[in-house]
Amino acid sequence: MLYREALNKALDEVMSADDSVVTLGEDVGLYGGSFRVTEGLVEKYGEKRVIDTPIAELSIVGNAVGMAIGGLRPVAEIMTGNFSLLAFDQIINHMAKLHYMSNGKIILPMVVRFPQGVSRQLAAQHSESYEQMLCAVPGLRVLSVNDVNYAYHALKYAILSDDPVVFIEHELLYNKKGEVDFEQKLNPFEARIAKEGSDITIVSYLKMVDDVMLAVPEIEKALGCSCEVIDLCSLNPVDYETLKKSIEKTSRLVMVEEDHKTGGYGGQIVSWAAEEMFYALDAPSLRLAGEDVPIPYNRGLELASIPTPESITRDIVAWGKKNDV
Amino acid sequence: MNKLLAQEMYYLMVLGRAFEYAAKENYMKGNISGFLHLDIGQEALSVGAVKAFEKGDIFSGYREHIMAMSRGLEPKAVMAELFGKVTGVSGGKGGSMHLFEPSHYFYGGDAIVGGQLPNAVGCAYARAFLEQDEGVMAIFGDGATNGGAFFESLNIAATHKLPLLFLCENNEYAIGTNIGRTAPFKEQAKKAEPYMPTYEVDGMDVEAVYKVVSEARKQIESGHGPVFVEAFTCRYEGHSISDANSYRSAQEMAHCKARDPIQRFKKALHEKWLCTEQEIQNIETKAQKAVENAVKYAEESPEPEADALFEHVFYEEGENVVS
């Protein structure tokens, strides 16, 4: 099953079981979703539950907030992450805060999904990542899964949850293949150990987990070590327990993210390690992230602006040699 | 509208004004802090519109104390919220601008100008979707009509024929700037004309507001789509308590106060509703007493416990819920 099919299946199952679940966004209905996540849903559930909206992101999220107040369970799709900026007033000032400001009286069972990240030559206004902003706002749960099985279960969880959830997807993950275990019970807030290892803990999320996995065989060969790869899955809250256990075992931490380094999300993980895990670490932590530039259109420049399997290998091997891994 | 309702509305108007003056006084004493947007002068609009919208959901902006009380929220719970006390409507976490009481279908209390409008649209969608009879009323100022959220909301509400009553309280000032300096015309209903039926009403006349909003409510509940009502009103105080109101002339303020909604309705109570002086005085005394009690209650209420800081960040306490 493809990643996008897993999301589609999750939505379909929840909509089938609960009439109050609706999905809204640009092109989600008759068009089938620009990344085909909502394909076939309008035929099954009708235009009142699969709602084609105007190109008006503030309203997509703002309306979803009102729908949740009014007794529905909306799943809002923002076509791409950059467009979510137009909805950030509603995401931050309303979706994240109404529960707290009302002292728990307002409950917002809603999800905002959006794809983001560097895809293929979409240039600066269609390539940004926003987890750092979303995770800086208390009141939002932020999920960002790499794995197809997790995508299915985490989206179902997000829709059934009574908390507002932002579900971040990556445009290059939609056609990723994987098996889904429909019977499995899994907790999307628990980090996923993508690969076990004993010498280096490499933490990542979304599409970068795949790039790390591509890099690992060469890193292990070059350094003669074994790497543990952790897919965070949930960026807020973070499963620090799993990270702690891994670092205690490996005593080394590498954080890999696609976003720009300055102010990027990985800074949180590395600073947590500096505060809480200092004496467990045998080497300074390494942070691999995108360059501090708007994402360029040219393919060569675009690839140079973010970590790639090659640069991940190169940088981790160099760091490993310097730090006696 | 009958005599009993007229008396109730008069009670809410004098309660509202006394409440606002008490809030101002307690702000000066330091018992209330933050932003405080007083509604003095606009009581006819707040009371008349909310009483006319007897059922359904109300989404308002940050000048909402009197609307909240007209919706049935206890004055003492509203005052305690202004004091930041745990007994406040929002447990002391919301303050003046964030009064929420879902059990009374009252949703703020929104401090982002126009931010409540998309929420009201979504709620109206839910009401129509769930085939519930009641609609939604969104209350906002003239300043909000210049923002994108407003135009997006008109468009979506009209496209889906949602049961949504847009109520614009036009007091001519967006904070301290006259609407004539930020929009090409003073009647903001003109902006809604291509989308839905629009009505204008004298917002200083509680009976007129009640009548127009009642009719507009019936219209949205009939399933023909949204309606826009514009009420022209006048606030006596500055935009917020930190605004000295120096941008309005003495003549302008005198003109405002000559239309005073409470004095005007008091006259109608005598002449039209045949209330005796004693009846009116009893109402005023009752309102005064309610405000005194509210202040006393707020003063005596405890501060939130330290643990409250971390309560209600999320609804689901367990972060280990398994799907």
Q: In this predicted model, what pLDDT tens digit does every residue of B62-80 receive, in sequence order?
A: 999 999 999 999 999 999 9
Q: The CATH number of B3-310 is which of 1.10.287.40, 1.10.132.10, 3.40.50.970, 3.90.1150.10?
A: 3.40.50.970
Give the CA angle between residues A27, A30, A35 to the nearest 5°: 45
One domain, residues A127 and A252: no
One domain, residues A37 and A129: yes
One domain, residues A45 and A165: yes
List chain B domain ranges. 3-310
Question: Does residue A156 sit at the B interface (CB-CB below 8 Å)?
Answer: yes
One domain, residues A117 and A209: no
One domain, residues A13 and A102: yes
**B259-274 per-position pLDDT tens digit:** 999 999 999 999 999 9
One domain, residues A162 and A202: no
One domain, residues A165 and A100: yes
Question: Inter-chain contact B312–A71, Cβ cutoff 8 Å?
Answer: no
Query: Distance between CA B237 and CA B95 in Å, rounded?
Result: 19
Question: Inter-chain contact B321–A139, Cβ cutoff 8 Å?
Answer: no
Q: Would you tell me the crossing angle of helices B116-129 and B148-159 to the nearest 10 degrees?
A: 10
Q: Are the C-beta atoms of A176 and A210 separated by less than 8 Å?
A: yes
Asked if the model's pLDDT at residue A277 lies above 60, the reply is yes
Question: Inter-chain contact B313–A107, Cβ cutoff 8 Å?
Answer: no
ipTM score here? Answer: 0.95
**B219-250 per-position pLDDT tens digit:** 999 999 999 999 999 999 999 999 999 999 99
Enzyme catalytic residues of A: 57, 126
One domain, residues A42 and A118: yes
One domain, residues A20 and A82: yes
Q: Which residue among A125, A146, A173 closes a domain?
A: A173
Question: Inter-chain contact B130–A72, Cβ cutoff 8 Å?
Answer: yes
Give me the domain span that covers residue A242: 192-323
> What pLDDT does residue B317 have?
62
Asked if the model's pLDDT at residue B319 lies above 80, the reply is no
Q: If DSSP codes are grouped into helix, strand and coil, which group holds residue A155?
A: helix
**A278-308 per-position pLDDT tens digit:** 999 999 999 999 999 999 999 999 999 999 9
CATH (domain of A216)? 3.40.50.920
Domain count of chain A? 2
One domain, residues A212 and A307: yes
In a domain, A298, yes or no: yes
Query: Distance between CA B93 and CA A99 in Å, rounded?
Result: 10
Residues of A in contact with B94 (CB under 8 A): 101-103
Query: Distance between CA B300 and CA B22 in Å, rounded?
Result: 16
In a domain, A186, yes or no: no
One domain, residues A44 and A132: yes
In a domain, A185, yes or no: no
In a domain, A71, yes or no: yes
One domain, residues A11 and A158: yes
A 177-206 → B contacts, CB under 8 A: 185-190
CATH (domain of A125)? 3.40.50.970
| A94, closest residue in chain B (CA to CA) | B115
A113 burial via Cβ count (<10 Å: 0-12, 13-18, 19+): buried
Q: Which residue among A142, A173, A204 closes a domain?
A: A173
